[in-house]
Structures are given as C-alpha cells and as structure tokens.
Structure 1
C-alpha cells in the first residue's frame, strides 16, 4: 500500500507505525539497519530506548511510503 505513516530512523534502526483499520491500535515494526543485526538489536535494545524511539515517532510528520509485507 502507498500511504502516509509515521517513520523514524537513526544509525541503528528503522521504525514505522502502521494503524489497524477502524482501531486506535497500531503495529510497530522495528528493523535493524545492519543486515543480520536483529539478534544484536534484541540484546541491546532497552525499554527506555524503545519508549524514546516511540516518542520520537509520535512527534514526526507522517511521510508517504510504500510498505510491502510478505503477509
């Protein structure tokens, strides 16, 4: 789908928030910037960092992206 979604990235991660239809809930997708970096991201990501990323995401302008899902 091509729509506007909140998107955040830094040197370690890329993150996008996808809203569920007719719901206030959202799917938060976090990907490491480095290939094969998921295990390292899982080990190092703290709750404090996660909330910081989510806070940044909520204050950004929504950008237009094409999101592809294998589902």
Structure 2
C-alpha cells in the first residue's frame, strides 16, 4: 500500500499569481501533490477498472473559447 507523505500548501495560490492561471478553469496553477495523487491512484487497486484512459491533471486549461 502506498502512503502519502506530502500535503497541499495551506494557502492557495491566487489567480493573479501567474498569467498562466488566468487560462485555467480552477483559476490557479496545479500543485505537485495533485499530480502525485493521480500517480498514486493509477498505481493502486482502486484503478483496476481504468484501462486505456488519458488522465490529465491540468485544471481545465484552455487557450480559446471558440465553438
């Protein structure tokens, strides 16, 4: 069993901390522990029914809103 040895920062980054976060649906940059959470999930028994999926940790980043 894998155990987490990290935690999220106690103060979230504000949307104004980076121009890149303005293009994200969650209005902040991704924390490294969020990427690590996905890695731990995919290596766990809880992901046994997940096959052939492209899992992204990008906060809903977009470059345009054209239909």
> Same-fold call, TM > 0.5?
no
Structure richer in helix, relative to its length: 2
Taking structure 2 as the reference length, the TM-score comes to: 0.28
Specify the structure having the higher radius of gyration (Cα): 2
Structure richer in strand, relative to its length: 1
